[in-house]
Structure 1
Amino acid sequence: MASSNRLFNKGFLSLTFAQFFGAVNDNILKGVLSFAVASGGLWAGQLGKGGQGYVGLCLTIPFILFSGFAGQFADRTSKRHITVIVKIAEIFITLVAFAGFFLGNLWITLLAMLLLAVQSSFFGPAKYGMIPELVDSKQLSQANGSINMFTNLAVIAGTLAAGPIYTLYSPEPGSDSSALLWVPGAALVMTAILGLLVALPIPKLSAMDPDLKINWNPFSVYWSALKEMANSHLLLVATAWASFYMIGMLAILILPDYRDLLQVSPTKASVLLGILGISIGVGSVSAGLISGKHIEPRLIPLGAVGMTLFFTLLGLTPLKFGLVAALLAGAGIFAGFYIVPLQALLQHLSPDDERGRFLGTANALSFVASSIGSLVFLLARSRFQMDSNHVFLICAGLAFIGSGFLIWRLKPVITDSSLRGK
């Protein structure tokens, strides 16, 4: 084990920035694609009403299919080695995206989105499984709060960049500007190169289970891990963690439509996504600071109640930019309170030699939930003709019903004083 008593040691900082640049790329590509297929976009109508739901599915389905393999590889191989390989792969994938945007081909660009999601699915278990190998167990809450903060800063950077990048790629009607077809691809390739460079200083880490025989049926891997997780509170923790991603996917798919709802530019609409990312980051860091050197599960119900309240208000209040921005900020802060202790519990409760498989399975659950979120969005918009802002009421209902049930079942963990070091 290479864990350090210092939170911001070289290895953890390298991992944090490698995650940062990966998340920036995910959000640039997803953001530009979402603007292109949303109402009023360059490719509007090619995927039907609410087409950004299909973009969401391109992001989530690979995680479901490949997280089982990824978790096994994370146990069998050095997590540092996996990180470097996926960062090299990211450069080649962004070259595919470059070609798609330059040629104006939606399908090549969606293929790049799929490939980037496959790459990210292999990084996920290695990334989260590496944290306990790089920092002391007493620093897990602060480490997760910090990496969540940087991830959400990356979401901000990626989503804020997506608006101007899309405008340069597809100028507004009546504009004198010429379309710069190379801009999205160039941004993606440069960010991928930076991600590889910052990953290289991660120290060498030993494989936790080098003799593990790979099971090539991912669903049997999931089933085996779920049965083991069910013997403790891990399964409920993983399910509560996954529910956050279903709600989050709905929120992310709703926001590009605010371009039409508020009659604003793509750049200003991307500011709303940035505000959500900033506030989740603030909530995550605050949760880490409140937890100190322990895990604070009592933040989970507080986060769930806060998300329910603010999503309800987003679905009911008038469509004014400042009001929407303020309510998104409130929802994001409470989302950070909800997710950080759950993430720390997943890492803390997973045994060392099975952490990769358990986190891979939890990852798969979260993306099953995200896929359900994409399908719910598609149904709400195309089948039930709901206005996008009213879909926030579905977010609120899911936060209230799903999280309420899970928190009730997780009461022994939430009230466990040993996790708080008392």
Structure 2
Amino acid sequence: MDDHSQFRLLSKRRFLPFFLTQFSGAFNDNLFRNVLLLLITYTAGGLMGLPIDVAVNIAAFVFIVPFFLFSGIAGQLADKYEKSQVIRWVKLAEIAIMVLAAVGLWHGWYEALLLLLFLMGVQSTFFGPVKYALLPEVLTDDELVGGNALVEMGTFVAILVGTLAAGLLMGSEQPEKLAAIGVVVLAVVGYLAARQVPVTGSTNPQMTIGFRPLRETWNLMRLAAENHSVLLCIMAISWFWFLGAAYLTQFPSFAQTDLMGDETVVTLLLAVFTIGIALGSVACERLSGHRIELGIVPIGSLGISLFGLDLYFNMPANPVPTDWWMIITDSQHRQLAIDLLGIGFFGGLFIVPLYAFVQQQTPEPQRARVIAALNVFNALFMVVSAGMGILMLGVIGLSIPEFFLVLSIMNLIVAGFVYQQVPEFALRFIVWVLSHTIYRVRHEGLRQIPDDGPVLLVCNHVTYMDALIIAGAVRRPIRFVMDHQIFKMPILGGLFRLAKTIPIGPRNKVPEIYDAAFERIDEELDAGNVVCIFPEGKLTSDGEVGTFKNGVEIIIQRRPVTVVPMALRGLWGSFFSHCGGPALSHLPKRFWSRIELVAGEPVSAEKAAAEMLEQRVKGLRGSGQ
């Protein structure tokens, strides 16, 4: 799996038709919406006698209102009925809406087009939950990040292409008629692709659909709040859309006022930002090792703020008239483009693992409704983003670069709050950094660890980093049992407390800690969790596997569970081992060292014994250290 690119999914029938359906839908949404906005601005000169700025904002509001009204019903439908069938219903509705839109475009009925824009918002509302709920059903766990990355990449590329196509059509002699043909053709293409989406089955056929829009939307919020980690991930995703909407909304004024650029500059800024998000989304799979890796989410948020700050400090002091070529060729203007590319790139790193985490951690029978709740929050945050832009720019009087500076600082504050509330983010970040700087970790046999249910892991103990390396390799959360003295160490102690590590000590010295440890271990196993112990009881002093103590047998006697032996290779001699003196007492001698974590065949509780497990671990470790 590690040797294959995520792009191979585009050759699979279980993914390609869905990808094409999503791409054509996003393309059509943005083509129709932008054509309508441009027609209102440049041809109609307003709408219903309203000023252009008011008419444009009304159009944007009309598209987003359905997410608040109908997301609850949309989530229920996607959970109750077979998802490929729901997708086909939605795409048929798109054809009907676009046929009416084509008539409206052809005859210039702009007020009617506003109603159809509302219906397109309804159609998007019903497509959103089924779109993301389908992915975990057609992709394996190690394909989920790659699949989400391709979907995000395709979505933002479709947004860019739809926006550019709308601009090109407006430059033609008959933009309304060409747009009318285009939206119908794209709707038909989307439906034909949807007919090839594989059948997945219904996840909650007994559910009763409620048709009270506002109440059902409120019920979505309550459902999403049941899992605190998932809720905070939803908030983080919505924060990304808050930032994205804030940047994209200001691009026209930013290009015109602060860069003195023409319309080509606006197009270039939009393209650079969107391409950055697409590239960041695609990079997620490689950086995460084909799995859901929350460790790169803090990297994404930090990158967004750093490039946002750099954008502010690189603004031209005395702007001169600018076009797209000057943005590329002039060093100072080129740095602005690089900053926008960086903000988009790290935004892609930020958002893809979060989407995959929400999909994976949400029970299948309610997954679509949780995704629907996510869509509601996204819409709410984008509305708040627009309000904040009005407040900061119109009332307080900030310049657009100053507004971007405020967004960068706010992003650091929001990120810090989320990571404090969900310690797994910070822990996974540290593990990811370790595994991409000091160590290169190779895994073997980790599928021996059951996907669910209680399991006890036993492993040799070489360095203070062993727990973090194992935590970064194993997909399931692990509760480690470690010497209580480690918790007194200034930095490592904090990390291990963050990881909910179970402290243990000698029975003859700290009996209360000893007894409490076994109680905690039993509670964790009874809850169906993974517990890892280092039966040697201390770090190796010579690189060899020491004698296993009988604590593992006590655990098994109290709670008979499957035991998986594991071995770490290549860590002896590192900065965190006792090689050449006490750990942490000498300078690191090597970086990016190749190490291995190997898991053996599971051992039943009846056969598990300290001596036998010691021999298993020695065999897995082999002759290397």
What range describes the TM-score normalised by the shorter chain of this pair? 0.7 to 0.9
Aligned to 2:250: 254
Shift of 1:55: 3.6
Q: Please give the residue correspondences for 1:116-265 in structure 2 after superposition, counting only pairs within 5 Å.
A: 116-168=120-172, 178-232=173-227, 233-258=229-254, 260-261=256-257
Shift of 1:358: 1.1
Whether 2:94 is the aligned partner of 1:90: answer yes
Aligned to 2:307: 310
Whether 2:347 is the aligned partner of 1:363: answer no
Contact 1:60 1:370 in 2 (8 A): no
Question: In 2, Cα distance between the equivalents of 1:243 and 1:370?
Answer: 9
CA distances 1:77-126 after superposition (whole Å, capped 9, x unpaired): 11101111111111222233334433444433332222111101100110
Does the C-alpha gap of structure 1 residues 107 and 246 become closer, same or farther in structure 2, counting only changes over 3 Å?
farther
> Normalising to structure 1: TM-score of the pair?
0.87
Does the C-alpha gap of structure 1 residues 206 and 21 become closer, same or farther in structure 2, counting only changes over 3 Å?
same
Shift of 1:419: 7.2
SS at match of 2:171: helix
Does the C-alpha gap of structure 1 residues 163 and 392 become closer, same or farther in structure 2, counting only changes over 3 Å?
farther
Letter in 2 for 1:415: L
SS at match of 2:135: helix
Contact 2:73 2:213 in 1 (8 A): yes
Question: In 2, Cα distance between the equivalents of 1:186 and 1:315?
Answer: 43
Q: What is the aligned residue count?
A: 407
**Percent same amino acid among aligned pairs?**
29
Shift of 1:270: 2.7
Whether 2:424 is the aligned partner of 1:408: answer no
Letter in 2 for 1:298: G
CA distances 1:40-95 after superposition (whole Å, capped 9, x unpaired): 78636944547644443233221121111111100001110111111111122223
Whether 2:273 is the aligned partner of 1:276: answer yes
Which has the higher mean CA deviation after the structures are superposed, 286-295 or 122-131?
286-295
Contact 2:13 2:197 in 1 (8 A): yes
Q: CA RMSD in A?
A: 2.8
Contact 1:239 1:365 in 2 (8 A): yes
Question: In 1, Cα distance between the equivalents of 2:116 and 2:312?
Answer: 33
Contact 1:144 1:288 in 2 (8 A): no
Shift of 1:265: 5.4
Shift of 1:305: 1.6
Question: In 2, Cα distance between the equivalents of 1:102 and 1:33?
Answer: 12
Which has the higher mean CA deviation after the structures are superposed, 407-416 or 69-78?
407-416
SS at match of 1:11: coil
Question: In 2, Cα distance between the equivalents of 1:110 and 1:129?
Answer: 30
Contact 1:162 1:270 in 2 (8 A): no
Contact 1:314 1:327 in 2 (8 A): yes
Shift of 1:257: 3.4
CA distances 1:286-331 after superposition (whole Å, capped 9, x unpaired): 0122112311111111111221233344455136552343322111
Whether 2:16 is the aligned partner of 1:13: answer yes
Q: Please give the residue correspondences for 1:264-413 in structure 2 after superposition, counting only pairs within 5 Å.
A: 266=263, 269-315=266-312, 317-318=315-316, 321=324, 322=327, 323=333, 324-380=336-392, 382-384=394-396, 388=400, 390-413=402-425
Does the C-alpha gap of structure 1 residues 405 and 167 become closer, same or farther in structure 2, counting only changes over 3 Å?
farther
CA distances 1:234-286 after superposition (whole Å, capped 9, x unpaired): 11111111111111112222223356435655465333222222110100000
Shift of 1:347: 0.2
Which has the higher mean CA deviation after the structures are superposed, 139-148 or 7-16?
7-16
Q: Please give the residue correspondences for 1:35-114 in structure 2 after superposition, counting only pairs within 5 Å.
A: 35-36=38-39, 43=45, 46-47=50-51, 49=53, 52-114=56-118
CA distances 1:151-201 after superposition (whole Å, capped 9, x unpaired): 122122112212212222xxxxxxxxx454312222222211111111111
Aligned to 1:175: none
Aligned to 1:3: none
Could you say which structure has the larger radius of gyration? 2
Shift of 1:220: 3.8
Question: In 2, Cα distance between the equivalents of 1:82 and 1:419?
Answer: 38
Question: In 2, Cα distance between the equivalents of 1:135 and 1:338?
Answer: 21
Which has the higher mean CA deviation after the structures are superposed, 266-275 or 299-308?
266-275
Contact 1:96 1:108 in 2 (8 A): no
Shift of 1:17: 0.8
Does the C-alpha gap of structure 1 residues 184 and 364 become closer, same or farther in structure 2, counting only changes over 3 Å?
same
Question: In 2, Cα distance between the equivalents of 1:418 and 1:217?
Answer: 45
Shift of 1:388: 4.9
Higher RCO (C-alpha under 8 Å, 6+ residues apart): 1
Which structure 2 segments of 5+ residues have no match?
Answer: 1-7, 328-332, 429-469, 476-625
Which has the higher mean CA deviation after the structures are superposed, 394-403 or 238-247?
394-403
Question: In 1, Cα distance between the equivalents of 2:301 and 2:160?
Answer: 23
